[in-house]
């Protein structure tokens, strides 16, 4: 079983960190496989993806704010999701994630690949049934 290490990055360009930013409204739905196949094309871009929440990790940042991370998995691949705030979904939930994709970033000696800094994480069950299908 792979170990998922939560390394939360707070973007200094966003007021208050990621928890207060506006979701990536202009992003269209992208398959995880597309992000993994062409990460350079989506690097630092707003993305919207769906998948299953796996390996949830809860944390607190240096300022004492709650934070979380999880693996987002679909039939074609897996990527990491991190954010500030309280997680409102659970292990195994199908969710839609909006945020900024990074193909890689360095945290000390560690390099983190294929990660989304989430601005919004919502269970698919809370969405409009017309949107879901």
User: Coil, strand or helix: which one is 128?
Assistant: coil
Q: Where is 130: in which H helix or E strand?
A: helix 129-132
pLDDT of residue 13: 38
CA distance 112 to 88: 24
70-to-23, 62, 118 alpha-carbon distances in Å: 18, 19, 11
pLDDT tens readout for residues 94-125 = 999 999 999 998 888 999 999 999 999 999 97
CA distance 18 to 100: 10
CA distance 103 to 123: 24
Is residue 37 scored above 50 in pLDDT?
yes
- Say which residue, 131 or 53, is predicted with more confidence: 53
pTM here is 0.75
Q: Where is 35: in which H helix or E strand?
A: helix 32-37
pLDDT tens readout for residues 44-103 = 999 999 999 999 999 998 899 999 999 999 998 999 999 999 999 999 999 999 999 999
Q: Which domains occur in the chain, in start order?
A: 41-124 (2.40.50.140)
CA distance 52 to 93: 6
Other Cβ atoms within 10 Å of 27 Cβ, number: 18
- Which value, to the nearest 10 degrees, does the dihedral of the CA atoms of residues 98, 102, 103, 106 take? -140
pLDDT of residue 107: 82
Distance of CA 7 to the CA centre of its chain: 12
């Amino acid at each position: 079983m792979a170990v998922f290490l939560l390394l939360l990055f707070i973007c200094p360009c966003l007021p208050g960190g990621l928890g207060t930013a506006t979701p990536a409204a202009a992003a269209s739905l992208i398959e995880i496989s597309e992000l993994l196949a062409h990460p350079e094309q989506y690097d630092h871009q707003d993305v919207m993806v769906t998948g299953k929440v796996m390996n949830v990790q809860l944390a607190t940042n240096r300022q004492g704010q709650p934070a979380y991370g999880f693996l987002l998995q679909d039939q074609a691949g897996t990527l990491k999701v991190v954010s500030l705030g309280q997680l409102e979904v659970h292990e195994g939930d199908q969710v839609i994630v909006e945020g900024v994709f990074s193909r890689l970033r360095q945290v000390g000696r560690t390099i983190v690949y294929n990660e989304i800094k989430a601005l919004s994480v919502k269970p698919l069950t809370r969405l409009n049934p017309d949107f879901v299908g």
